[in-house]
Structure 1
Amino acid sequence: MKWFARRRRDSPAPDTSAAGDNLAYAHQPAGRPTDASPLSERTLTDSEPVPGHPSTLASRDTLAYTYWSAGRLAEAGSLFERILADRERILGRDHPSTLASRDTLAYTYWSAGRLAEAGSLFEGTLADRERILGRDHPSTLASRNNLAGAYKSAGRLTEATALYERTLTGAMHVLGSEHPLTLHVRANLEVLRDRLGG
């Protein structure tokens, strides 16, 4: 309730911000990221009067994703860095949303060719998820897969293979052989094994 008391009279209600985010996000799978950018920018501008509010963070996240989809990786990275800093400050380093933000920032760095920074963030996220959620939680498995991919991109193929193998074993045990994550990890491992000639 405090949010409504602090909100400017001319700023949108949370439902309006969510609707703007949803509309902008809907343009992504339709292959229209350039159409989504102005919608996301407007929604973020409207929600900024309440910095740190979940709807403001969600709007910033949508805009960053929009930039990422449009290949505007520097702008996306800058926003994802800000989101991560806010979530660490507001929610704490171990909150699931903070860990997801760290993973997203790492993926953005990876996409931009910033492999050392991506690897470091993926390593930290994996360690935290193992500590908090356990070694075979689906989010931990996804983090391990991401780190293996970063290692592969950085030419650390032996480490990538070991991580993919460990992730596949965990995914088969926890999720089953036909789960999308299991299939994704298996495909990643097969591509890497083909690359290594075995």
Structure 2
Amino acid sequence: MRGYAGDAAGAAAAFEELLVECQNVLGPDHPRTLATRGNLAFWRAKMGDLETSRSAYADLLADRLRVLGPDHRDTLNSRSDLAAVQGEAGDSVGAVSAYEQLLADRLRVLGPDHPDTLATRSNLAGWRGEVGDLQGAIAATEELLADQLRVLGPDHPDTLATRNNLAGRRGQAGDVAAAIAAYEDLLDHQSRVLGADHPSTLATRANLVGFRGESGDASGARIAQMDLLADRLRILGADHPDTLATRYALAALQGQAGDAAGAASAYEELLADMFRVLGPLHPVTFDAFCEMQYWRGRAAADPQ
């Protein structure tokens, strides 16, 4: 729970301690020991230490292949985890290839309607979008949504997540109006099924605000972003990564509205918290530092 509350470093430290105990009591090849290694790799990735996570997932996959065999569900899950962190570390093409191979094996082992197979199709569509094939990603996501509606139903979290992904990809492809309409429908559905305070509902609000800003409603987007920040502070707390992300978006909107000095100041305050919460080497911390420097430069260049 510590990690999902926003403390990725605390979660990683806890799993490091647990791993030592599991190895001592259960042995290195026990399924719980292997699962703990996977959890540790996951939270290291959330901390931004992608290379360490990638190496840990590769080592775990080798051991699961040896202990459990290639068709065990845990082995297939390790392949999925490794593909994801491979893409997050910058190798999007490698992630696509890894997910294509994994999909073939999950179809063979689990069948086309298994939730893990559907999840692999979702991941593959996402990384295809990352390598530039947005239209292919949209088509694959539309097909996936039809199957999830049939297999899982309209209220399943995975179905709702796919609707979120489809709306975002349509917006990225240039159809901002369609993205806004899709997010509005999804937000209504999530509020009814999950509740207004559910993290996924809040995430949809964030996506909707972003595309409203892109549509030219900067003022409305800023007001909605401030409302979202108030709710994330109340629900998630000040140090949760989603709360920090909302502050990041607000600072960007401030700059886009012409307040370069205010944006620089907002990023400076945000950076202090990101250093403390995420650490100085986290990719998002680095992005915020670059934004602060950019808006400082704009503020210095603007006539007083």
Find the counterpart in structure 2 of residue 121 from structure 1: 140
AA at the equivalent of 2:46: P
Deviates more, 1:42-51 or 1:181-190: 42-51
Structure 2 residue 84 is the aligned partner of structure 1 residue 65 = yes
Distance in structure 1 (CA, Å) of the matches to 2:61 and 2:116: 19
Deviations 1:25-59 (A, max 9, x none): 23212221111222222222233352221121122
SS of the residue 1:190 aligns to:
helix
TM-score of the two chains, using structure 2 as the length reference: 0.57
Find the counterpart in structure 1 of residue 149 from structure 2: 130
Alignment partner of 1:186 out of 202, 205, 215: 205
For the 8 Å contact 2:177–2:215, the answer to whether it is kept is no
Give the share of equivalent positions with the same residue, in percent.
43
SS of the residue 1:27 aligns to:
helix
Distance in structure 2 (CA, Å) of the matches to 1:190 and 1:30: 26
Q: 1:17 to 1:173 in 2, by over 3 A?
A: same
AA at the equivalent of 1:197: G
Q: Which runs of 5+ in 1 are unaligned?
A: 1-10
TM-score of the two chains, using structure 1 as the length reference: 0.85
Mapping of residues 75-114 of structure 1, within 5 Å? 75-114=94-133
Distance in structure 1 (CA, Å) of the matches to 2:39 and 2:116: 19
Alignment partner of 2:38 out of 21, 34, 39: 21
- Using the TM superposition, give the Cα deviation of residue 60 of structure 1 relative to its aligned residue in structure 2, in angstroms: 0.9
After TM superposition, what 4+ stretches of structure 1 lie above 6 angstroms from structure 2? none
Q: 1:135 to 1:81 in 2, by over 3 A?
A: same
Aligned length, in residue pairs: 188
AA at the equivalent of 1:33: L
For the 8 Å contact 1:64–1:80, the answer to whether it is kept is yes
